[in-house]
Amino acid sequence: MVLRFRTLSLESQGTYKEKGSKFEAYAFPVEHMEQVQQHLAALRQMHYKARHHCYAYVIGPEANDFRAFDDGEPRHSAGDPILGQIRSFELTNILIVVVRYFGGTKLGISGLISAYREAAKQAIEAGRIVEKEPSQSWVLTFDYPDMNGVMNLVKELKLKVVWQHFEERYEMNLMVPLSKLDLLKERLEHLSEVELEIRN
């Protein structure tokens, strides 16, 4: 089991220019695919005139959930160089998107590989790399009388709330560090109506 992993603390950016083409790189810390899709959608809206939105992501403490996407660039000329930089810095839970504005001059395969690699590198180096402890996504389901007990426990254990909503019962999605999972389960035994289940 991985005890610690490397990721970025906050979003960061980098810019690379080559023969009139501009490569805007964005690096985001992410924990699940929903965040990946949200960032991609936001950048496509922000840079709607750009020709390419190439990206790579790696998710999970074991870094075993990953993808590289060329978005119309020649195969393996964009996504793979971005992914290569993520691997080079030994990062996970990260998404890097490089938005390209075409400058009119073709760069060739080797030129594209170099440009996407350099843009991704600049975005990583502009950020702050931190070490974190692996967490799991869990969902608490409970009724209103247990609200105070649940909120006090979340605050005491400093757990991250991803989302929460109320239908027939309250539901709260938490990111729980593995080192705190047993304590959370133990404390929840005192709140008999609270259900806890893992969410993949």
**Contact partners, residue 188, CB within 8 Å, separation at least 6:** 140, 153, 194, 196
Compute and round to an integer the Cα radius of gyration of the chain.
Answer: 20
Q: What is the pLDDT of residues 112-151, one digit of tens each?
A: 999 999 999 999 999 999 999 888 889 999 998 899 999 9
pLDDT at residue 200, rounded to an integer: 61
Q: What is the pLDDT of residues 1-23, one digit of tens each?
A: 667 899 999 999 999 999 999 99
Which residue did the predictor score with more confidence, 26 or 178? 26
Mean pLDDT of 97-110: 94
pLDDT at residue 168, rounded to an integer: 82
Q: Kindly state the tokens that stand for 191.
A: 């709140």
Domains in the chain, CATH or no CATH each: 5-131 (3.30.230.30), 134-198 (3.30.70.240)
Which residue did the predictor score with more confidence, 43 or 133? 43
Q: In terms of C-beta density within 10 A (0-12 exposed, 13-18 middle, 19 or more buried), how is residue 141 classed?
A: middle
pLDDT at residue 32, rounded to an integer: 87
